[in-house]
Amino acid sequence: MTDIRALEADIAQAADSGAPGRSAWYRLEPAILGTASIAVLLVLWEVLPRLITMSAGTKLFFTTPTQIAGTLWRLFATGTIWTPLGVSASGFALGLGLSIVVGLPLGVLIGRSRTLNAMLDPFITAFNATPRLVFLPLLMLWFGLGLEMKIVIVFIGALFPILINTYEGVRNADKTLINVVRSFGASEWDVARLVVVPNAMPYIVAGLRLAIGRAVLGVVVAEFFGSESGLGVMMVQAAGRYQVDVVFSGLIVFAALSLAMTAMVQVLESRLSRWRPQRAGGE
Amino acid sequence: MQAYISGRNVNLTFRPPNRGPVRALQNFDIDIGEGEFLSIVGPSGCGKSTFLNVLLGLIKPDSGDIRMDGKPLAGPGTDRAMVFQEFGLLPWRTVQANVELGLELKGMSSDTRREVSQPLIEMIGLSGFEGHFPHELSGGMKQRVGLARALATDPNVLLMDEPFAALDAQTRDLMQVELLRIWQTAKKTVLFVTHQIEEAIYLSDRVMVMTKRPGRAKKIFKIDLPRPRDYEMRVTPEFNELKLQIWNELKDEITV
């Protein structure tokens, strides 16, 4: 009896005194460890080449973080990067935009109409099962090496995640809620606007996240294998001239673009899910 | 009594894909007077909710004649509104936007909508909760929003599909009182579907017992308890006698 009491008191005390300090560390731990490991890696990368003697030939293939930072700065300061960046970004944005404009309504339509679904399903299944990049040679033939080809390759890459996710979300719509709006005389358009699309929004956002990845991939591959200009072209040409720092600069810009887009989707997601119960530990 | 809503020989069979046909309603007859509160009790799956959906205009019967105010029923309309069992609130809409749903679909401007929704939200005791989302409300509050939404378009007929079934017993009792209060002031015709005999007696002018599927009207009980009803009536001998009679009609229809 006394033992249990003592034990309970101990636990209570431990929980009391330990909790606040632990929770602050607990919250910050991942961020601190993440930043620290990046910092360690960068320092090692910077220092090691200075400690190891390499032949001039080997040195050709390496660069250091400070060198990359300098090159990035130069590329932006002199403005050399703006043209290729603009080309890549337009291909990405236009292709992705087009895939949203087409994929979202089409996903809603095939989700709502059995007829359309039966008609289009074979195409969608076949297209989706094929790696979209195998169309690249054809697209280069048909659309050339300019912006149009890039838009099309991005479009067909990003279309299916959006289309298929929208479709799944639409199929998942709550029948009762559809009846609710119908009972107020809602048209099929009202049903889509008021119930089906809001209900599918989490699916659509997840599809968008996937689509962004596919879109970036589309831009990169199109530019690696045959384009007139773009960040990828800049990287390939730099690699041919052993300008490893320029290659890394392109890589960093691509990574930054992807991260920025993902962050935008996250903002969109949290704005769209204000009506949801907050998960434990969420914002 | 002149029937405000009448159904004659209503037949309805569901034909779900991959399964055999299900006869939901067979030669179903009903008469509801204007301003009347009529409850339907019946075994699960007897077609009582189906009939509400027919009246709402969401399901077309295979045959039969359904009239409202002398005119044949044609599709959904703002003269009828439903209070749904699981509330049926759009989870991404605030309390106010949910209440205003029907008004919005009628094409009303947001200012006019607000003029209608504000007093209703006040009436259901949710002032200050206009901006809340459904997940932030209790079951009783949600169903009051469902009720306000149904009343917003000022329908003549209120269809209620086991509206209090998802609530706990105490909340349910309070909601019944609230519903009677609203019914007495708003003077709506109410068709109320429930599993609870006591609830049906307490609220209604008449209680219809339905047979098991395919559903027909088996017997109708007139409830002569005085209005306004109060909670004490539930323990009177007349009340219990009615309860027993209705149960005796109903129990033969129930298979466990």
In three-state secondary structure terms, B230 is coil
Tell me whether residues B135 and A277 touch, CB distance under 8 A.
Answer: yes
Residues A205 and A69 in one domain: yes
Residues A6 and A98 in one domain: no
Q: Which residues are within 8 A (CB) of B91 and not within 5 positions of it... i.e. 6 or more apart?
A: A275, A276, B133, B134, B135
Residue B256 has pLDDT above 80, yes or no: no
Per CB-CB distance under 8 Å, the chain A contacts of B90 are 177, 180-181, 194-195, 198
B15: DSSP letter: -
Q: Which residues of A touch B (CB under 8 A)?
A: 176-177, 179-186, 190, 194-195, 198-199, 201, 274-277
Residues A155 and A255 in one domain: yes
Percent of chain A with pLDDT over 90: 65
Q: What ranges do the domains of chain B cover? A: 1-79+156-256, 86-154
* Chain centre distance of CA A165: 15
State the pLDDT confidence band at A279, using cuts at 50, 70 and 90. Answer: low
Three-class DSSP labels, chain A: CHHHHHHHHHHHHHHHHHHHHHHHHHHHHHHHHHHHHHHHHHHHHHHHHHHCCCCHHHHCCCCCHHHHHHHHHHHHHHCCCHHHHHHHHHHHHHHHHHHHHHHHHHHHHHHHCHHHHHHHHHHHHHHHHCCHHHHHHHHHHHHCCCHHHHHHHHHHHHHHHHHHHHHHHHHCCCHHHHHHHHHCCCCHHHHHHHHHHHHHHHHHHHHHHHHHHHHHHHHHHHHHHCCCCCHHHHHHHHHHCCCHHHHHHHHHHHHHHHHHHHHHHHHHHHHHCCCCCCCCCCC
Omega of the bond leading into B237 within 30 degrees of 0 (cis): no
At A112-165, the pLDDT tens digits run 998 999 999 999 888 888 888 888 889 999 998 989 999 999 999 999 999 999
At A195-234, the pLDDT tens digits run 999 999 999 999 999 999 999 999 999 999 888 899 999 9
Residue B104 and residue A185: Cα distance in Å, rounded? 11
Residue B189 and residue B38: Cα distance in Å, rounded? 8
Q: Tell me which fold the domain B1-79+156-256 belongs to.
A: Rossmann fold (3.40.50)
Of A177, A186, A275, which has the smallest distance from its Cβ to B88's Cβ? A177
State the pLDDT confidence band at A1, using cuts at 50, 70 and 90. Answer: very low
Answer yes or no: is A280 within a domain.
no
Kindly compute the dihedral angle of the four CA atoms of residues A182, A188, A191, A194, in this order, to the nearest 10 degrees: -130
At A59-90, the pLDDT tens digits run 888 888 999 999 999 999 999 999 999 999 99
Answer yes or no: is A57 within a domain.
no
Taking residues B42-59, report their average pLDDT.
Answer: 91
Residue among B149, B98, B104, B102 nearest B123 (CA): B149
Range of the domain at A81: 65-272
Residue B223 and residue B15: Cα distance in Å, rounded? 37
- For the record, the structure tokens of A157 come out as 């890459």
User: What is the pLDDT at residue A50?
Assistant: 84
Taking residues A259-276, report their average pLDDT.
Answer: 88
Tell me whether residues B106 and A185 touch, CB distance under 8 A.
Answer: yes
Residues A224 and A113 in one domain: yes
Residues A79 and A42 in one domain: no
Residues A10 and A82 in one domain: no
Residues A183 and A261 in one domain: yes
Of A182, A195, A276, which has the smallest distance from its Cβ to B76's Cβ? A182
Answer yes or no: is A162 within a domain.
yes
Does B53 contact chain A (CB < 8 Å)? yes
List B81's β-bridge partners, or say none: B158
Residues A120 and A233 in one domain: yes
User: What is the pLDDT at residue A219?
Assistant: 94
* Chain centre distance of CA A146: 24
Q: How many domains does chain A have?
A: 2
- How high is the mean pLDDT of chain A? 88
What are phi and psi for residue B80, nearest 5 degrees? -130, 145
Residue among B27, B29, B24, B25 nearest B219 (CA): B29
Q: Which of residues 77-106 of B touch A (CB under 8 A)?
A: 77-78, 80-82, 84, 86, 88, 90-93, 101-102, 105-106
User: What is the pLDDT at residue B1?
Assistant: 53
Taking residues A165-178, report their average pLDDT.
Answer: 93
Residue A11 has pLDDT above 80, yes or no: no
H or E, element range at B193: strand B189-194
* DSSP letter for each residue of B139-150: HHHHHHHHHHHH
Tell me whether residues B90 and A198 touch, CB distance under 8 A.
Answer: yes
Percent of chain B with pLDDT over 70: 99
At B58-95, the pLDDT tens digits run 999 999 999 999 999 888 988 999 999 999 999 999 99
Number of residues assigned to chain A? 283
Cβ-contact B217, B29 below 8 angstroms: yes
Residues A127 and A258 in one domain: yes
CA-based nearest residue in chain B for residue A271? B92
Q: What is the CATH number of the domain that holds A197?
A: 1.10.3720.10
ipTM for the assembly: 0.89
Cβ-contact A233, A150 below 8 angstroms: no
Question: Which ranges constitute the DSSP H helices of chain B?
Answer: 48-56, 95-99, 101-105, 110-123, 139-152, 169-186, 197-203, 237-251
Tell me how crowded residue A206 is: count the other CB atoms within 10 A of its CB: 17
